[in-house]
Amino acid sequence: MGTGCTSMNYKRMVDISSKNPQSTNVASSIITRKKSNPNSQEEFRKSRTLSLTKKRSLAKEKDMSNYVEASAAEIEPYATKTSEDKDMILTALNSHFIFTSLTEEDKEQVAESMQLYLFEAGAIVFEQDMTAKSYYVLRTGLLEVYVNGKSVNKIKPGEGFGELALLHDNPRSATVKCAAPSGLWGVERQTFRKVIEEMNTQIYEQNREFIEKVTLLQPLNPRQKDSLAASLVIYKYYSGQKIITEGETGQQLFIIKEGTVSVQRGTQEIARLHTGGYFGEMALLNNAPRSATCVAVDGPVKCLVLSRETLQKNLSNQLQDIIEKNTIMEAINKSETLSLLNKHQKELICKDIDHRNYKGGDVVIPQNTLCKLKLYIIISGRLQYARTSHTFADKGTCVGDQYITKANPEDVKYEDDMISASDMKVGELTKYKFEVSIGGKYEDVVKENAATNILRKVFLFKTLDSSQMKELFSIINTEKFSDGEIILREKSQSQHVFIVKRGKVDICKGDTVIRTVTKHDYFGERGILFESAASATCRANGSVTLWVINNNDFINILNENMRKQLLHRINMWDERSELEDLAIVRPIGKGMFSKVYLVHPRDSKTLYALKVVERKIIEKFAIQEQLLLEKHIISLIDHPFVVKLIRTYKDYKRIYFLLEYVKGMQLNDILMRIGLLSNSDTQFYIGSLILIIQYLHERDIIYRDLKPENIMIGDNGFIKLIDFGTAKIVPSRTYTLVGTPQYMAPEVIVGKGYNKNADLWSLGVCMYECLCGRIPFGNEEPDCYKVYEEILEKELEWPDDIDPINEAAKALIEQLLSRYAESRAGGSIDNLKKHEWFTGYDWDNLINEAIIPPYTPDLGDSSEDIENNGGHVYMWDAPLDNESQGTEESLPDVSDADLEAYKKSIPQNWDENF
């Protein structure tokens, strides 16, 4: 957690061949963008070839034949393929029928897997009637083909042969002999099949995951999504290339997987589409000419393409309904009033709205109709004024929404007939049916939504659906307490669950505050599960407003997920093992001032992390206030993505923090292992960090050292933020230079004061690092001052040795790395979550841990460590392993005079709450 600079190399190498035995990519969703760096590519080729060679040796052990094809060759397993070699191989592959069903990615992977065989003149590549093993492409030299001993053909460079060997092991129909020294690229059948299997499995899983994020396809059932994932074809378009042209007949639907597409009508750009966007649907449905031209812009664009035939086969002609529902939902979300409804209410509007078809010129809304009577949603076509033909409303737009949502709207009327410009479809809903759909008067419903939205921030309620949230709203009461007032007394029977709406509540054992409950946290839950007395006294810390739920009412909404969450939390808070009862399993980490050990109580196999700080370190560097603040802050936090404090200990040698154990890996180690992250995987990690930052900042907590080393990926794949040693409660501004230089915001460096927006700069550095494989400022720079100089003066640059970054992602990184701190959030964290890069992202599923994580570490069973440890209880008054060694090496030297001054500045009873 320190500020020291060390030499860092963030250009990560990618080794897709070596699966670490301690990590498993269960979602197969991490995509490494191909680097053009020749050294990286050479390492990639070497590792890939080694992997394939090992797989081939396993296959040969199963082969009953002793025949070895191309036995006369010298194999060059690490031979580098030039661009000409690759083009030659791909041309040869494209000329044979067995490769026609392969995607371009498949063919490139097959080409990459081929190794070089070198033959002398007169050597035999394979003999007639012998078992077929491999497919070859002649690189250099000349080959002669013999059938029954007679020369029948010659093979020249660039030609492929032996392709049937990739289908089966039937005997060769001819002998191939070298007429001159020759080099051949070759691939065996087992390798070929494995490559194709791995590639297509990966593509399918990526496509299946991507389909889940495409709003157009959300209404499909799992079976339909599975079927589509297997049918998608990927096409790549370069900047400026036309994907579809206005006036053409449409036979395909395009869904953007990566990149940006410009939609143009004539010479005018009318829209820009990004990842998850789609186009071509209307021409596909109606077999009509394309209504616009779509052009790839800002770098390569990858599209998933579905043909009319595939869609009809998989969706049974339901695409029309899907698109119409999506258009209605798009219009609702664009409306200032209707967008405030919740997801369930919006879906009910989609279900209840009446669909009306109109011919060109038909009157849709007659003149003098009251605006408050009905809601109109333009599903297709365009609505225009009868007199002027000017557009009144286009596709995906609401009409009348601002009137039907008012309690007492004015009698405003339409001043002209509104007619259809061409054939069109309109969704219509009367005010009465609208209120039935949303469940009441608009203003009452929106107020209830606002309250339930706040309640959804209480993690205990995160698994409740809309109807259950409505029930919760009906059973909840509000009570206020003044400073120092006892809300719940220790050993008394609690009849309620309390949730903090505003203020703080201290949880006390005797006179000691063991933790503090803040906004959206809860207490009193023990009485629901155990009907037992309260284990602590709960006292208002200042003025407090609480939501209060009667236990009997709470039981009615209690589901299994909530029960598990309550039990897990109670079990952690109930941990009463004393320091002398803890057994050390092994060291698991080290900070600037501390060491961390994996421990467990001797009568339990529950694992914890024990952070240990020596008193002589505390005295030497006067960090007692920092430790007190760390204890206070982490005791305020109860977030699923943040490590929890269980309790603290002290003795005459050390201070101890007993923490929730996160069995997993640092995000930094995962990035080093797997290389660049895909767009969607980066969204997962950055989105998770945004949820944490929002939670901390709502409590005036600034973290100040956000970086991959402080982010653990648990064995469930979700993140846990650790190490709050640099965190601080900052209602306004602070001035301390603290953190890791490469992740520091400019305003932290210049010393003129900074606020919580400094964390957003660090978030931008992390996002850049995930997508680019390096940090934007101070990469590989050991000198702190040069790092600071780059942060303050260097313009943001994008690496040219990887594929271009998604434009929406670039825009978000540029926003987060703005030197004007107030612009980083775009006004608020909620606005940040609405950024274009997060379009369609399901934040509820993320916090509910209902998303498949990109990477799940597999670190084995920790119970084996406990068994091997033998339950040994450490004598805590003895020296720990290598105590003080290694820790102080990274710390600045302190003179004897300064040390004495530090000691005098430390109050004797500073640790009374540990």
Residues known to be catalytic: 705
**What are residue 255's DSSP bridge partners?**
278, 304
Q: Cα separation of 596 and 588, whole Å? A: 6
Side-chain-side CA neighbours of residue 313 (13 Å): 11
CA angle (801 as vertex; 798, 806 as ends), nearest 5: 50
- Residue 448 to residues 340, 341, 438, 455, 465, Cα–Cα distance (Å): 11, 10, 11, 10, 14
As given in the structure block, the two tokens for residue 629 are 């603040």
Contact 608, 647 (CB under 8 A): no
What is the rounded radius of gyration, in angstroms, for the C-alpha atoms of the chain? 33
Provide DSSP, 3-69: -------------SS---TTEE-TT----PPPP--HHHHHHHHHHHHHHHHHHHHHHHHH------T
Q: Cα separation of 532 and 526, whole Å? A: 7
Residue 914 makes CB contacts below 8 A (sequence gap 6+) with 631, 648, 649, 650, 655, 656
**What are residue 613's DSSP bridge partners?**
655
Q: Cα separation of 354 and 430, whole Å? A: 9
Residue 810 makes CB contacts below 8 A (sequence gap 6+) with 798
**What are residue 354's DSSP bridge partners?**
428
Side-chain-side CA neighbours of residue 287 (13 Å): 2
Q: Cα separation of 387 and 394, whole Å? A: 17
Q: Cα separation of 544 and 30, whole Å? A: 46
Residue 341 makes CB contacts below 8 A (sequence gap 6+) with 332, 349, 438, 445, 446, 449
How many Cβ atoms sit within 10 Å of the Cβ of residue 437?
Answer: 19
Q: Closest Cα partner for 51 from 32, 69, 85, 77?
A: 77
Longest dimension (CA), the chain: 105
Q: Cα separation of 375 and 325, whole Å? A: 16
Q: Closest Cα partner for 181 from 209, 152, 133, 143?
A: 143
Q: Closest Cα partner for 5 from 743, 512, 764?
A: 743
> Is residue 794 marked as binding?
no
As given in the structure block, the two tokens for residue 746 are 């400019």
Question: What are φ and ψ of residue 849, in 5° steps?
Answer: 55, 40
As given in the structure block, the two tokens for residue 821 are 């701190």
Q: Closest Cα partner for 417 from 356, 363, 465?
A: 363
Provide DSSP, 504-543: EEEEEETTEEEEEE-TT-EE-THHHHT--B-SSEEEEEEE
SS3 content of the chain, % helix, strand, coil (to 5): 35, 25, 40
Q: Cα separation of 455 and 447, whole Å? A: 13
CA angle (817 as vertex; 275, 760 as ends), nearest 5: 90
Q: Closest Cα partner for 56 from 192, 219, 252, 211?
A: 192
Q: Cα separation of 625 and 631, whole Å? A: 10
Residues annotated as binding site? 611
Annotated binding site for ATP: 611
